[in-house]
Chain A
Amino acid sequence: MPVNNTGPSHTPAQTTPPPLPAATATADDDGISRPPKGASVPASARTAAKLNVFGRLESWLLDGKRAQYGTSILRILLGACAVAIVATNIMDRKYIWGTASGWAQPYREDSIWNFWLFKFFGASDPDWMLIAKLVLFAVFGVLMVLGWRTRIVTVVTWLMFTSLAALGPTSSDSADNAFRIMLLYSFLTDGSLKWSLDSRRRRIKAEKLSTGRRVSAAAGTLIPPWIGVIVHNLAVVAIGAQVIVIYLIAGLAKARGALWQNGTAIYYPMYSENFSPWPQLNHLLVANNLMVHLISWGSVAIQMLFPLLLLNRWTRRLAVVGMIAMHAGIGIFLGLSVFSLAMVAADVIYVRDSTMESISNWVRCKWGTNARRQKKPYVQGPDDAANPDPA
């Protein structure tokens, strides 16, 4: 659990927002020369925050877990992806992975995934076993959504999915790469901080502790808490950096294409039968000349400019909302829903916790009928210090 330092003396520091993960990713080269020194660091780092970039970096990495909502939403949406993968492919499972897929054997024999860790799904499984394993995989997806024993569930989901994707050597594409890599990063974050059964359990435990009924001493004392904080925060940086790399590469690659340059690129996949769950809808989207150019150029622009847009809080909002809109479009019009969901899950890492809190408060006020008892947040990171809980 992050160090709790919500004293009033820290409030001024909050007027300077902590650096973004993006900024950290590029500035890290310098940051490494100052190793953290354990639990005493946060306080000193906070003083340094006003002095130099190293101090700010240290404080960003050590003062508390960043992107608590972002990593929690990532965990929830990745779990939903796992469920969606099973639900949408279960009817075609035999041909893709199962008893009717023996024609793919030449690829399986020299697969790069031939490694004992990734053998959960097997080419010789009888159909009932494939069904059972797929259902188990979906159950793990549900457990991720619920946030139950998040770490172990996430890493097992990753192992199962990697094995499943390897079993269909011609059934896997970039969507699987995105999902697989994000699962691994998600495992390194503490994705259970918000909206999870784990956080509920910890809160109840903490309440019992504070009312004097001794439960066993807090688990996880084997590892000093700051290690959990720094691993979580570095994984947040890794997710942020990976997202930037994905968009930069995708944007730069498109910028070389004549069809993207002349602004008509988006028209073509809309008339391709394998990307058209709803052909009439697709044709409608590209019926207007201006629309075709706006979407084509807009897609390249937002991908290439994504890292720059992150530098300012308003353009960052534009970038995140724009990306979510783009992926919604990819999911609806091109039928690449699971890919879209995995990418949206990762985009959300760029929404700051305070913003998420404002949004969720707004939602609660708007539809406040189900206002349950005021909950005490069980974690209070420095991000929360700006509006400290009355309790």
Chain B
Amino acid sequence: MGAVLALVLIWHGLATVIYLSGSTRLANIAGPGTINAYMTPIFKQYWSVFAPDPIHEDTELEIRATVDGSSTEWFNVSKADVNRSILHHPVPSRLYLTNFQLTSHYQVSASLLPEDLQQVPGKSYVGQDWQQQLKQDLAANGSTADAEAVAQFIKDETAMTSMASSVARARWGDGVTRVQIRIATIPVKPYPVRKDPNYQVKTTYFDAGWRQIVKVPDIDLAAIASMYGKKAVTANAGQ
């Protein structure tokens, strides 16, 4: 009995180390997929945080919308999140993380699209059947890896546009017909030039195209308006 328990522990330890080693050859040592199946979901883990390099830039998500035919200012969701849940909060809430991860999923999966589909996220899809159109444009003609990348992007695109649409409707009202997002990457001044007042960091933008809004069923827009509405956040448009 004791030996069995000790064996279980040894198996668990080895499986954890192999799982974290990231080596595919080792991962299949106990049969294809066995270790992964054992580790996920319950022991799913990832510890390479702030590595190989720490975060050295701010990522900001900005949203604007078309309301009654004209375009609004950019609304900086990340700034609103920082002010609402991080700044002067000894124990910050998960709000910033929630939008940050969505943003980073979106940007990563867009960058992982096959070479010939890289320009798709930047195109506008504004018809009623825009999701169909998008899927058609992304129709993978390549490998299964490409198909996976496309499927991941469609999932992230759906979640992102659902979120952006909800925030836009909460902030600008029922007249919203289209939304657009852009992701600003603002580097921290490099350490060697940190005291140089003339050094200007260069913000880069990832621009997605316009999207027809997605109306998420039963979503509580009043709750979102209390966080991102005009009364809650007056002016913090992205510069």
For window 197-227 of B, CB contacts with A under 8 Å fall at 216-221, 223-224, 227
Is B120 an interface residue when CB atoms closer than 8 A count as contact? no
**Contact partners of B2 in chain A: CB under 8 A:** 35-36, 61-62, 226-227, 230
**Contact partners of B220 in chain A: CB under 8 A:** 94, 98-100, 127
Q: Is the CB of B48 within 8 A of A249?
A: yes
Q: State the total of A-B contacts with C-beta under 8 angstroms.
A: 236
Q: Is the CB of B89 within 8 A of A335?
A: yes
Tell me, in angstroms, the Cα distance from A279 to B41 when the chains sit together. Answer: 36
Q: Which of B42, B53, B84 contacts A259 (CB 8 A)?
A: B53
Could you say which interface size class chain B belongs to? 35 or more
Is B102 an interface residue when CB atoms closer than 8 A count as contact? yes
Q: A28-B6, A35-B2 are in contact. Are A184 and B42 (CB under 8 A)?
A: yes
Q: Is the CB of B191 within 8 A of A260?
A: no
Tell me, in angstroms, the Cα distance from A258 to B53 when the chains sit together. Answer: 7
Q: Is the CB of B93 within 8 A of A174?
A: no
Is B51 an interface residue when CB atoms closer than 8 A count as contact? yes
Is B231 an interface residue when CB atoms closer than 8 A count as contact? no
Tell me, in angstroms, the Cα distance from A92 to B226 when the chains sit together. Answer: 10
**Contact partners of B50 in chain A: CB under 8 A:** 250, 254, 265, 269
Tell me, in angstroms, the Cα distance from A292 to B188 when the chains sit together. Answer: 15
Binds B, one of A192-200, A239-247, A379-387: A239-247
Measured CB to CB, the nearest residue on chain A to B97 is A171
Is B101 an interface residue when CB atoms closer than 8 A count as contact? yes
Tell me, in angstroms, the Cα distance from A61 to B105 when the chains sit together. Answer: 45
Q: Would you give the 0/1 interface string for A315-335, flagging 1 where the beta carbon is closer than 8 Å to chain B?
A: 000000000000000001001
Listed from nearest, the 3 A-B pairs whose CB atoms lie closest are: A257-B52, A253-B51, A36-B2
**B residues adjacent to A (C-beta < 8 A):** 1-3, 5-10, 12-13, 16-17, 20, 40-58, 78, 82, 84-102, 105, 155-156, 158-159, 162-163, 165-166, 188-189, 191, 194, 216-221, 223-224, 227
Other 15 A-B pairs with CB < 8 A, given A177-B46, A180-B42, A230-B2: A88-B93, A92-B85, A100-B166, A100-B221, A103-B165, A106-B155, A168-B98, A170-B99, A249-B48, A250-B51, A254-B52, A259-B56, A266-B54, A268-B54, A335-B86
